[in-house]
Amino acid sequence: MAALLGSSTSPSLFSSRIPSLLNFTPHQSTLPFRDLRLPKQTHRLRVSNVAAPAADKAAAAEKLARAKASQRPVYPFSAIVGQDEMKLCLLLNVIDPKIGGVMIMGDRGTGKSTTVRSLVDLLPEIRVVAGDSFNSDPSDPETMGSDVRDRLSRGEDLPVVTTKITMVDLPLGATEDRVCGTIDIEKALTDGVKAFEPGLLAKANRGILYVDEVNLLDDHLVDVLLDSAASGWNTVEREGISISHPARFILIGSGNPEEGELRPQLLDRFGMHAQVGTVRDAELRVKIVEERARFDHDPKGFRKSYNVEQERLQSQITAARESLSAVEIDHDLRVKISKVCAELNVDGLRGDIVTNRAAKALAALKGRERVSAEDIATVIPNCLRHRLRKDPLESIDSGLLITEKFYEVFS
8 A C-beta contact, residue 364 and residue 324: yes
- Cβ burial, residue 309 (10 Å; 0-12/13-18/19+): middle
Q: Are 196 and 236 in contact (CB under 8 A)?
A: yes
User: Across-strand partners of 125?
Assistant: 164
Concatenated DSSP letters of 80-134? --S-HHHHHHHHHHHH-GGG--EEEEE-TTSSHHHHHHHGGGGPPEEEEETT-TT
Q: Output phi, psi for 83, to 5 deg.
A: 55, 45
Identify the active-site residue in 350, 357, 368, 385: 350
Calpha distance 65→377 (Å, rounded) = 44
Q: CA 90, CA 201: separation in Å to the nearest integer?
A: 20
100 within 8 A of 348, measured Cβ to Cβ: no
List CB contacts of 334: < 8 A, sequence separation 6 or more: 356
Burial 158-172 (b: 16+ CB within 10 A, else e): beebeeebbbbbbbe
Is residue 58 helix, strand or coil? helix
Give φ, ψ of 281 to 5 degrees: -70, 125
Told to judge if 34 belongs to the known catalytic residues of this protein, a careful annotator would answer no
Q: Tell me how far apart the 2 most distant CA atoms of the chain are, in Å.
A: 104
In three-state secondary structure terms, 182 is strand
Catalytic residues: 350
